[in-house]
Amino acid sequence: MISRNVFVINQLGLHARAATRLVNCASDFDSEIIIKKGPREVNGKSIMGVLTLAAATGTELTIEAEGADEKQAIDAMIQLINNRFGEDQ
Amino acid sequence: MSLTLSGHAVAPGVVIGQVHLAESNELEIGEYRINQEDVDKEINRYRNAVGAAREQLLELADRIDLAVAAPAAEIIQSHVLMMGDSMIRQSTEDHIRDQLCNAEWALQTQLEKILSEFRSMDDEYIRTRGEDVTQVVRLIQSKLSAEAATTPFENIPDRLAETLVVAYDLTPGELALLHERGVAGIVTEHGGPHSHTAILASSLGIPAVLGVHGARSQLQEDSVVILDGGLGVVIADPDEATLEHYHEVRLDAERYRRSLASLRERRADSLDGVEVSLQANAERRAELLQSITSGADGIGLYRTEFLYLQGAPPDEETQLAEYLSALDMLDGKPLTIRTLDLGADKSTDALDFSQLRRSVNPALGLRAVRLCLRDTALFKTQLRAILRASSSGLVRCLIPMITSVQEIRLVRKLIEESKIELDERRQPYDKDMKLGGMIEVPAAALAIDELGRELDFISVGTNDLLQYALAADRGDEQVAHLYDLEHPGIVRLLRYILREAERLELPATVCGEVAGDPRYTRMLLALGLRQFSMHPARLLEVKKVVRETRVDAATDAMKVWLKNPSAAKDCSLLELLDRSQASS
């Protein structure tokens, strides 16, 4: 299992389109993915779970991945978040 | 007696049209018991309904014209994800199995559970997403119900021009369908400014007023009403004077739209004959298509990050194919490819604390060309793909976030190495491919003289440049007011960059959001800008302003203002520039 922390930096936070892209990204991998915000944790492959995190911009998240492709999964997700989900800066 | 109903103004535009009341698609959801031996049958019935609902959404997404409604496709995609989410899918099946109840009821129970969770959120935006879940569940329930229409809005006429659809609520899918049939405007009783219906109506350009209480009981079928999407009102039984006023407004809007459309083939020359080049910013196919239809002179900023956000970094062939397909669409017009502008630390090792601290401020960290120069294998893969594409069309290479001369030299060295590698493989490329730098770092802006000598062109990324120069993130509400394009420091900085570029005979483009904001077009022209690159949707509006501007008069007014910006107390810089046009 690997785990990394990341800050949500896009303007709108984990809104629906960003959450959709994140869940799509997580679903590309076989590993189990958990996203944590403070005491709350949700399945990274669940759109509803990710939405209910209500992670606004500036929120710190912990992403955990476990499985054969855990490293690739976590890299891809961190990159997506750091790149503001491909939104315009 | 006219009656004015008000709601949320979510998509501007005026419509005078006939009311069509959409039948409410409220379903009666009943509960009944099923026998233990029928559980599998019930679960199958449920799965089939989900499958049918999913198919309907996907088919809809397929039909959406990406050039005009990319957000619609994404919203529909999020609904597809919700449908397959374990919180709906698995939980409903479990509920059927454990409680021995019908699928409709099991879904309803899950929906209420999820909604109560959404309602407890502090964040208004997230609370609003409960509506999306409701819409998704309703769609599945309608597929479960035998008597429900197989396609939504079957009873709505095929042609909806001059028609205002009044409904309790509309799903993004329904809205896309109405758009396809040419609906003139929409009114709903439900839905707020953050709802997806609102976002979608605005992106599709359908005038809309949402959240109008009692709309369906107060508006009569076939009666003529006025919808003013900008004010968020619907006027029933309008009197003569009101009707006349709105006919005027509509005519003006129509004239404006036509005048824009007629500009497509026209040149972007100013009144005093200054030639201006208008290019488009694009990444995916939809924007490329839109760029071509809006008559762009080429792509001034082709973003490549999307290629890197789909798992593993793309190999050379994948990138090349993408660039070649863009070139193909452009039909001889130039394509400016920006190299990777990611802000992530790609290090795959678990982060230690100090690294985490460093990534806290990614805007000032290891990103863009800084990242590429650290991971040269990744960078050279992209450089080779860009070089190879340059043998098939007019390709320019743009490096983001250049800070120093050393960086440019390192990039040039990597390009030379890439060329040698291609020579060894006997693969062709344009030996004189132009290399440009994005000017986003204030220190780089002030060192144009040094940097410019090493570059073939520059592109000013005003979004980041302003943010760095003003030390204010415009996404941060508390300081967004400081993000001011008319700040004398910003105006002088832009003036300096463009003047130096002119002196060095260095082609300069502005590709930030300001380039596509017609309010600032005159200001940029007065500062000496002659090449704009913007979102393709804004191109014709900007062209219109260029063609209505006397650049010489604006330039003179700018010079006067720059001498003493605080002298014009009662008048903003933009007003001053507009006035300069009248007096010349």
B158, with CB counted inside 10 A (0-12, 13-18, 19+), is exposed
B350 neighbourhood in chain A, CB within 8 Å: 2-4
For residue range B393-434, list pLDDT tens digits in order.
999 999 999 999 999 999 999 999 999 999 999 999 999 999
Pick the range with the lowest mean pLDDT from A13-27, B389-403, B467-481.
B467-481
Residue B68 confidence (pLDDT): 61
* Residues whose CB falls within 8 Å of the CB of residue B244, separated by 6 or more in sequence, listed in order: none
Looking at per-residue pLDDT, the higher value among B201 and B443 belongs to B443
Asked if the model's pLDDT at residue B155 lies above 70, the reply is no
Q: How confident is the model at residue A89 (pLDDT cuts 50, 70, 90)?
A: very low
Q: Do B85 and A79 touch (CB under 8 A)?
A: no
Let me know the angle formed at the C-alpha of B68 by B66 and B70, rounded to the nearest 5 degrees.
45
* Predicted local confidence at residue B232, as pLDDT: 92
- Of B65-69, B435-439, B532-536, B563-567, which range is least confident? B65-69
Residues B51, B52, B58: CA angle, nearest 5 degrees: 85
pLDDT at B359 over 70: no
- Domains in chain B (CATH in brackets) are 26-144 (1.10.274.10), 163-260 (3.50.30.10), 266-582 (3.20.20.60)
Pick the residue of A79, A81, A84, A88 with the most B CBs within 10 A to test the interface with B by mutation.
Answer: A79
Domain boundaries, chain A: 2-86
Check residue B148 and give its pLDDT.
52
Interface mutation target, options B76, B78, B304, B538, chain A, most CBs of A under 10 Å: B78
For A:9-38, CB contacts with B below 8 A are: 9-11, 15-17, 19-21, 23-25, 28-29
Which residues of chain A lie closer than 8 angstroms to B362, CB-CB?
7, 9, 82
Partner-chain residue, chosen from A5, A17, A79, that has the shortest CB–CB distance to B309: A79
pLDDT at B583: 67
pLDDT at B152: 53
The domain defined by A2-86 carries CATH number 3.40.50.300 = no
CB contact under 8 A, A6 and B118: no
CA-nearest residue of chain B to A84? Answer: B343
At residue A45, does pLDDT exceed 90? yes
Q: Is A48–B344 a contact, with Cβ atoms under 8 angstroms apart? A: no
For the ranges B279-293, B355-369, B411-425, which has the lowest average pLDDT? B355-369
| Claim: this prediction has a pTM higher than 0.90 | no
B contacts of A75 (beta carbons < 8 Å): 346, 348
Written as one string, the DSSP assignment of B405-440 is HHHHHHHHHHHHHHHHHHHHTT----TT-EEEEEE-
Is B351–A56 a contact, with Cβ atoms under 8 angstroms apart?
Answer: no
Active-site annotation of A, residues? 15
In the prediction, which pLDDT does B138 show? 87
The Cα B502–Cα B274 span in angstroms is 15
**B81, containing H or E segment:** helix B66-84
If you average pLDDT over residues B536-540, what whole number do you get? 90
Q: Does the beta-carbon distance from A83 to B344 stay under 8 Å? A: yes
Chain B CB contacts of A72 below 8 Å: 311-312
Active site residues of B: 196, 511
Checking if the pLDDT of B483 tops 90, the result is no
Query: Binning pLDDT at 50, 70 and 90, where does residue B128 land?
Result: confident
Q: How far apart are CA B32 and CA B8, in angstroms?
A: 40
Asked if A25 lies within 8 A of B309 by C-beta distance, the reply is: yes
pLDDT at A14 over 90: no
Which residue is associated with the tokens 């508006």?
B219
High-pLDDT (> 90) share of chain B, %: 58
CB-CB under 8 Å, A82 with B344: yes
Q: What is the model's pLDDT at position B347?
A: 37
pLDDT (0 to 100) of residue B401: 95
Instruction: Tell me how far apart the alpha carbons of residues A15 and A6 are, in angstroms, rounded to a whole number.
Output: 16
- Alpha-carbon distance of A61 to B323, in angstroms, equals 35
pLDDT tens sequence across B290-324: 898 889 999 999 999 888 876 678 899 999 999 99
CB contacts < 8 Å between A and B, how many? 105
Pairing of β B3-6 and β B233-236: antiparallel
Q: Does A46 touch chain B if contact means CB atoms closer than 8 Å?
A: yes
For residue B180, the model assigns a pLDDT of 77
Average pLDDT, chain B: 88
Residues of A in contact with B351 (CB under 8 A): 4-5
Sign of CA dihedral A65, A67, A71, A76: negative
Instruction: Give the pair of three-digit tokens for residue B214.
Output: 């009692």
Least confident segment among A73-77, B53-57, B505-509: B53-57
- 3-class state of residue B488 by DSSP: helix
Q: Does A6 touch chain B (CB under 8 A)?
A: yes
Cβ-defined contact of A48 to B82 (cutoff 8 Å): yes
State the nearest Cα–Cα gap between A27 and chain B, in angstroms.
10
Q: What residues in A contact B345, CB-CB < 8 Å?
A: 82
Give the pLDDT band of residue B350 (cuts 50, 70, 90). Answer: very low
Q: Is the pLDDT of residue B345 over 50?
A: no
Half-sphere exposure of B32 (CA within 13 A, CB side): 7
* Residue from A1, A20, A77 whose CB has the most chain B CBs within 10 Å, to mutate: A20
Cβ pair A17:B342 closer than 8 A: no
Cβ atoms < 10 Å from Cβ of B519? 12
Higher pLDDT, B251 or B450: B450
User: Which residues of A fall within a CB distance of 8 Å from B77?
Assistant: 20, 24
Over range B473-495, report the average pLDDT. 87
The ipTM is 0.86
According to the 3-state scheme, what is the secondary structure of B507-553? CEEECCHHHHCHHHHHHHHHCCCCEEEECHHHHHHHHHHHHCCCHHH
Contact B344 A52 (CB under 8 A): no
DSSP structure class, residue B220: P
**Residues A7, B360: C-beta atoms closer than 8 Å:** yes
By C-alpha distance, the chain B residue nearest A45 is B85
State percent of chain A over pLDDT 90.
58
